[in-house]
Amino acid sequence: MLFNSYTFIILFLPLTVVLFYAIKQHLGQVPALALLVTASGIFYGWWNPSYLLLLAASIGTNYGLGKLLVHRKRRAILIAGVAFNLALLGYFKYADFFVTTMNALVGSEWVLLGVVLPLAISFFTFQQIAFLVNTFRGTVIPGSLLEYMAFVAFFPQLIAGPIVNYRRVMSQFARLPKGIPWHDIARGLTLFSIGLFKKVVLADNIAPYADAVFGTVQVGGDIAMLDAWGGSLAYTLQLYLDFSGYSDMALGLGHLFGIRLPINFDVPYKATSIADFWRRWHITLSSFLRDYLYIPLGGNRRGFTRTQLNVMITFLLGGLWHGAGWTFVVWGALHGFFVVTQNLWERITAKRALPTLRPLSWVLTFLSVVVAWVVFRSESLAASFAIWSSMIGFSTEPTASTFTVPVLAAMLGILGIIVLLPSPVRWVREETKAAGWRPHPLYAGVIVLILLASATQFAKVAPFLYFNF
């Protein structure tokens, strides 16, 4: 079931919200929580009910290990739990990648396993690894199994994040609002509508321009320099609008139930450095990699050279998390290289008091991100090298560009809006009277128009891009 479908918006969501508040008001919070878990199970099993067995096995095992860690705080139990989760993720996500790589390296002829990637396994695996580590550290004490099921399977964040912290979410489930939080519902509908518009009106209509360029190159076709840059910019916008749209919708859905999920995007295309970009893009994944990989590796505590090595390892594994392919490894390596280069530059210039040219820093950062997205989107390294070659004018058979001036102007206009306007999430969530958002008839009218515009696009429903990861 997709957030951007009639089934979800017209049937599943209204029914779940109404039943949740009716049950909470008349039967109490525990039955209401049970309703959320049941609804989340239906939501997750909509594509393939067999996925529910895997999710249930993962939840049951991790909950049992968490309870065991409370009574026996032994590192061996933690290692076993982390190994279980990584083995599960490794089999379903990387088994065929490993077989393909070994066949290429040693000339073997192992048969691919044909493993189908279950939805959300990357997200709920990382979330539960963090739960086990925090339980071992003593910062988390598991509650009931029902509460843990709600923590993992809460449908607004189950499929593509954000990756949530157990304490932060469970403290909210424990104090669900007694009445109907109308202001939270207004905020939720606003965020959901903005995210829906980003996805179905903007991202899905930009997608064909990116697909045309990357598809042409993948089958061996040649593209003009303008097409290479136009297609790369199109994908840069498509991915941002698709994933930030999903994240806005997830946060909005959380508000409908009185739950504030963590912000996952803070206008990353405003970044003036790659490090700044990763503080803004997929914030909860960046935080996970920092807290559970980079810092345990030593962080920046073991000298400059070791710090840069830790940066590279973190980005390589972060790239591999996104997908089982060498294109994702190279993408991670590029971002690691960019951050290491930035650190070297800051080290060299630290004593020279050079002026900071923010516009130039923004241009260099954005171009670096666009160039890296090429290999992220490409289906092979050869295709990405072909596009990069065309971007610098090495197209062997230049063709007439398929990007018209109005199309390019529209994409640049969308980029300008993204960069110049404040984050809609922070605007809607802001509580202060000076800058805060409040329900207003004008806003309600705008949201209705946005929803109507989005509804006209449902005939061509497309899954969210991060469902693949």
Q: Is 89 left (phi over 0), alpha (psi -120 to 50) or beta?
A: alpha
Separation of alpha carbons 20 and 34, rounded Å? 9
Contact 288, 230 (CB under 8 A): no
Cβ pair 1, 41 in contact under 8 A = no
**Helix ranges, 300-440 (H):** 304-322, 326-349, 358-377, 381-391, 405-420, 424-429
Chain-centroid distance of CA 140 in Å reads 24
Pick the closest to residue 311 from 350, 341, 346, 356 (CA basis).
341
Alpha-carbon distances, residue 448 vs 181, 193, 194, 445, 451 (angstroms): 20, 9, 11, 5, 5
Instruction: Decide if 378 contacts 387 (C-beta within 8 A).
Output: yes
Kindly state the helix (H) or strand (E) to which residue 195 belongs, with its residue range: helix 182-196
Q: How would you class 38 by CB atoms within 10 Å of its CB: exposed for 0-12, middle for 13-18, buried for 19 or more?
A: middle
Taking the C-alpha atoms of residue 31 and residue 25, their distance in angstroms, rounded to an integer, is 10
H/E element, 208: helix 204-218
CB contact at 8 A, 194 and 368 = no
CA neighbor of 163 nearest in space, from 133, 190, 207: 133
Enumerate the active-site residues: 322
Closest to 155 (Cα-Cα) out of 1, 322, 21, 284 = 1
DSSP state at residue 92 = I
